[in-house]
Amino acid sequence: MPKPRLILGSASPRRLELLAQIGVTPDDVRPADIDETPLRDEVPGDYVLRMACEKMRAVPSGDDDIVLTADTVVTAGRRILGKPADTAEAEAFLRLLSGRRHRVMTAVALRRGERQWSRLVSSTVKLRLLSGRDIADYIASDEWRGKAGGYGIQGRAGAFVSWMSGSYTAVVGLPLAETAILLQAAEDSGQIQGEAV
């Protein structure tokens, strides 16, 4: 049997790089365009899982294609910190996260035909106390753009992280252990039971 085509429903170069680490190259990249506004009173875990699943459903694909999508959010308490809209919001996020623990949640979702699988991975990260210069220099670097919570652990902000517990790759944007299991489940037509969406 021919191997099914893999479609990555994300424009994130980091997700492409992470997939390459486990020897996976998508056959196509088709970013999903959806409304990412949180619902009223929606908790972060429900929100990020819903986003990954809505992206998965929005990606056009053939009957036997495998569609892979993911979504990442940073949370401070119940507050969802998505991608900052501008430098002021990025600075506000970094000031909020400075010196405190926060959660980074990444959901991954897969679809093959009518079958769907998903996983939610939650990690805890602590940033050291950031000085005004730390924040100003990081904002000037433009690394915050397009990153949940206004920072990327894999870049310059790695120097801000004093402690973490959980999945490093999930904090970057794609939990590789869970993704590999779901890809195998999809390729095996569900011989490994995934978590139904």
Among this protein's residues, is 71 annotated catalytic?
yes
Task: Give me the catalytic one of 33, 63, 64, 71.
Answer: 71
Amino acid sitting at position 12? S
Give the single-character DSSP code of 37.
P
Helix 87-97 to helix 132-141 angle (10° resolution) is: 140
The distance of Cα 119 from the centroid of its chain, to the nearest Å, equals 11
Phi-psi region of 144 (alpha: psi -120 to 50; beta: other; left: phi over 0): alpha
Q: Residue 149's closest CA among 177, 178, 172? A: 172
Write out the catalytic residue numbers.
71
